[in-house]
Amino acid sequence: MKADKIITQKDINDTRVVLKPVFGIKPRLYVPFFYSLAIILILFLVLFYPGLKNPGSHYIFTTDPPGSAIFIDGVYKATSPCSIFVSRGEHNISIQKPGFLSHNAYIKAPAKVFASLLFKQKKLVKIELVPDKPEYLLKMAYEAYSNWNLGPNPSLSYQMPMLLSDAAMAASMDPLSFDAKALASMSAAVASNAAAFRDAVRAASIAYSGSMGLSATSLGRLADTLFQELAENPAILAALAPFLSSKDSMKLESTAFYKKNMARAKALAQNIKKADTKIVSIAGQEFVSFSSGTAVIAAAAAFPKAVELTPFMLAVHETSVGEYRKFLEANPYWSKDNISELLAEGLVSEDYLKDLDQCDSEDVLVYVSRPAAMAYCKWMDRLAPSSYRFALPSEAQWTLAAQAAGASAKNVAILANSAYGGPKKPKLLERDAAGFKGLLGNVWEWSSSSYYLFPSAASKAKNIFANKNAVVRGASWANNPELVNLDSRGPVAENSANAYLGFRIALVSKED
């Protein structure tokens, strides 16, 4: 057997790689050729191929106001400010935003073939949209303004934008095309800090005077509108007082006008007409039926708000899981399986119907949004007596129920001092003097009313300047009994769903 040869360093140094001719072509000719071909191919792929494969230009859209929807050839692409690639050729673009006229234009997008991957062809498009309906601008701004007022007080690190003022300035470009009546009272009703109140005052002065600059004529219009609004709704003064200095607040509260209207509001609250009640059974469920009565809504330092009510009925207990499951079986749109679409529509939050499959049918329903509760009421309409419909109770209706229950509600309330680590099954709750179960405690309850910090200042323009923050009443099992009572109220975004919030249904007149 031949011994293995030992490879030495000399053998390695003497080793040579020799390329053979290909088709008779010597290596010294074809190697440079292939190298050159590879370089050309790389240059082609980098410099030419992207432009040939996808010819077009990048359009950078900036709009005033921002947040406008960009459509190209009728297809939604993005929201401004944004960069959108537009293929070579002729296209129709449309820029749209609610409250503004659509901007429609024709473009011919060029194409850049060379180095389009490295140096993109860019076109800058700046568009200023023209307001369509100025009052719509104010409505949108008011909704956002209401949301901001639920946040913390402004500070150096947290500033509140002048939403109403900006909208009023935009609307004032065509001052005769809209009616901003009651803007002052509706803004004052939700203002929670001095910065917000200043924004409201500035917006009202612009909207009421019809001008960003004050002249003798515009000042006259402003004064006339404000005095008229104060005469119709003096509760605005109570909303103003907390944002004045102590000295100015005392001056305001010592005026004859303020004293007269505060005394009138208190008199209305004290001389309320008690409603007659009785227990009735409808659609397999018990209700407390109310005759006409006067509800008095008390909130912070606001004037008490007295509301005359027509007959209605309110469920004895809160809606249960089993009752809601029947609704889900008939309306799969509202099921947990469809949560992606419900979230996209802004109807629920991520926790909607959380852990529902682990609940007993007799458990109280929680993790439910207000739109979902309202959909449940509409589904129940098929069982309503003639001339009635199912609905969430208004804050005033809930308040009249609380007045009927009185102190007895706290005696049977499930609050943080109870032995339960959560809400109790509605059927197991004790009744209060009015016949209700869990009116105070157990879970907070949705109402059909929007939240106003100063409800007495909110005028009849609530349907014009609406917000999506609902009033919830009643407190929950997690609340300290020393800190809540039947007057307790709070704001919750209507799409919220949490472990402390449910609802009870009402039967109201179809005319309401």
pLDDT in tens, 29-78: 878 888 888 888 888 877 777 777 778 888 999 988 788 889 999 888 88
- Of 159-163, 330-334, 443-447, 506-510, which gets the smallest average pLDDT? 159-163
Greater confidence (241 vs 433) lies with 433
Task: Tell whether 85 and 45 lie within a shared domain.
Answer: no
User: Residue 181 falls within a domain, yes or no?
Assistant: yes
The one-letter amino acid code at 504 reads R
Q: For residue 105, is it within any domain?
A: yes
How is residue 188 written in tokens? 């004052």
- pLDDT band at 1; cut points 50, 70, 90: very low
pLDDT of 267 strictly over 80 = no
Q: What is the pLDDT of residue 300?
A: 65
**Residue 217 resides in a domain:** yes
Please report which confidence band the pLDDT of residue 334 belongs to, taking 50, 70 and 90 as the band edges. very high
- pLDDT higher than threshold 60 for residue 175: no
Are the C-beta atoms of 491 and 300 separated by less than 8 Å? no
Lowest mean pLDDT among 27-31, 142-146, 412-416: 27-31
CATH classification of the domain holding 121: 2.60.40.1120
Whether 453 is covered by a domain: the verdict is yes
Residue 414 has a pLDDT of 93
Residue 446 lies in a domain: yes
**Which pLDDT does position 64 carry in this prediction?**
82
Residue 37 lies in a domain: yes
As a whole number, mean pLDDT of residues 490-500 equals 95
Q: Look at residue 174 in the predicted model and tell me its pLDDT.
A: 55
Q: Is the pLDDT of residue 137 over 90?
A: no
**DSSP E strand stretches across 263-421:** 277-282, 285-290, 293-297, 305-309, 312-315, 388-391
Are 36 and 114 contained in the same domain?
A: no
For residue 276, the model assigns a pLDDT of 85
| Least-confidence region, from 21-30, 143-152, 212-221, 261-270 | 212-221
Predicted local distance difference test score (pLDDT) of residue 351:
97
- What's the pTM? 0.72
pLDDT: is 78 or 425 the higher one? 425
Residue 493: pLDDT band with limits 50, 70, 90: very high
Tokens of residue 74, six digits: 């009728």
Same domain for 210 and 281?
no
Greater model confidence, 404 or 194: 404
299 and 187 share a domain? Answer: no
The pLDDT score that the predictor gives to residue 384 is 95
Pair 123, 78 in one domain: yes
Residue type, 399: T
Tell me what pLDDT residue 370 has.
98
CA-angle at 284, arms to 282 and 289, nearest 5°: 30
188-241 pLDDT per residue, tens: 888 888 888 888 888 888 877 766 555 555 566 666 766 777 777 777 777 777
| Whether residue 94 sits in one domain with residue 192 | no
Q: Sign of dihedral through CA atoms 227, 232, 236, 241?
A: positive
Which of 208-212, 240-244, 331-335, 414-418 bottoms out in mean pLDDT, i.e. has the lowest?
Answer: 208-212
Has residue 496 been placed in a domain? yes
Domains contained in the chain, number: 4
Q: Tell me the CA distances in angstroms from 428 to 318, 348, 362, 423, 425, one per residue in order.
A: 12, 29, 9, 11, 5
Average pLDDT of the chain is 85
pLDDT of residue 318: 97
Euclidean distance between CA atoms 220 and 184, whole angstroms: 16
End-of-domain residue from the set 128, 154, 186: 128
- Percentage of the chain beyond pLDDT 70 is 90
**Mean pLDDT (whole number) for 176-185:** 67
Q: How confident is the model at residue 176 (pLDDT cuts 50, 70, 90)?
A: very low
Parent domain of 500: 273-509
**First CA to last CA distance, the chain:** 111
Residue 313 and residue 282 in contact, taking contact as beta carbons nearer than 8 Å? yes
Same domain, 94 and 222: no
Name the strands in the sheet holding 82-87, side by side, starting at the edge strand that comes first in the sequence.
Answer: 82-87, 56-64, 122-128
Q: What is the CATH number of the domain that holds 436?
A: 3.90.1580.10
> Is 454 inside any structural domain?
yes
Of 179, 206, 232, the residue at which a domain comes to its end is: 232
Tell me, what's the pLDDT at 273?
66
Q: Mean pLDDT lowest for which of 12-21, 56-65, 427-436, 476-485?
A: 12-21
| pLDDT at 243 exceeding the cut of 70 | yes
- Shared domain for 92 and 182, answered yes or no, is no
Q: For residues 475 and 494, state if they share a domain.
A: yes
- Mark which of 74, 105, 128 sits at the end of a domain: 128
pLDDT score for 447: 97
394 and 351 in a single domain? The answer is: yes
329/397 same-domain check: yes
Mean of the pLDDT values across residues 409-413? Answer: 94
Q: Are residues 177 and 81 in the same domain?
A: no
